[in-house]
Amino acid sequence: MASSPAMADVLTDHRERLLEAMAHSVAAKGYAAVTIADLAAEARVSKRSFYEHFSDKPACFIALYELASLNSLQVLRQALDARRDWHTQVEQALGAYLAHLAGNPALLTTLFVDIMALGPAGLAARRRSTQRFADFIVAIAGPALGAEQAVAIVGGIHEWVLDAVERGRIDRLPALAAPGARLVRAVIDAQP
C-alpha cells in the first residue's frame, strides 16, 4: 500500500525532527547518554515513530553523521568561486569548511569521535563520507589527481580536525585553512 503525499510529508517531518533531536541531544550530553526516549521526546514523536525511521540509536546517529557530512560538503561547494584561480579557491573553500565545523564544537566532537565507536557500521559511514569528499576533490582537480591522493588529502585534513577536537582547540580550526591549502596544492601540483 502506497502512502499518501500528506503521509509522506509527515514521515519526512518526523525523520528530520528526529535527526535534529539527535544533533541537539548528543551535543548537550554526548552520544552514550542519549536514549531513544530522549530523542522521541525532543522530536515530539512516539518511540514507535522513531522505529519507523531507524532500527536503533546507532542507525539514527549514522544518519545524522551522513547528513552533517553532506552539509559540510555543500559548504565546500558553495565556497568555490570560479572567477578565482584554483589555488585561491582551495584556501577559500577550506576556510569556509573549517569555520563551518568550528561553528558547533559539541556536535563536531561527538560526530568525529563517537562515529568511530560504532564499530564496522560507523567506520563504513566514515569511509563513505571520506569518499564523497575525495570524489569532490577529484572532480575539481581533474583526472590527473588519483583517487588515492584525494583520499589522503581528506584523511590528512580530518586528522588535523580530530587533533583539534582532542586538544580542545576547535576554535582554531579556521587557522588550518592556510596549511591545508598548502597540502592540497602540493599534492595536486605534484601530479604529472
**Per-residue model confidence as pLDDT tens for the chain (192 residues):** 444 455 445 457 899 999 999 999 999 999 999 999 999 999 999 999 999 999 999 999 999 999 999 999 999 999 988 888 877 888 899 999 999 999 999 889 988 999 988 999 999 999 999 999 999 988 888 878 889 999 999 999 999 999 999 999 999 999 999 999 999 889 988 877
pLDDT of 4:
47
- The pLDDT score that the predictor gives to residue 1 is 41
Residue range of the domain that includes 113: 56-189
**68 and 48 together in one domain:** no
Residue 35 sits in a domain whose CATH number is 1.10.10
pLDDT, residue 35, reads 97
Of 9, 33, 54, which residue sits at a domain end?
54
Clarify whether residues 143 and 61 are in a common domain. Answer: yes
- Phi-psi sector, 45: left (phi>0), alpha (psi -120 to 50), beta: beta
pLDDT for res 6: 52
User: How many whole angstroms separate alpha carbon 85 and alpha carbon 13?
Assistant: 41
Q: CA 129 to CA 151: how far, in whole Å? A: 10
Same domain, 45 and 80: no
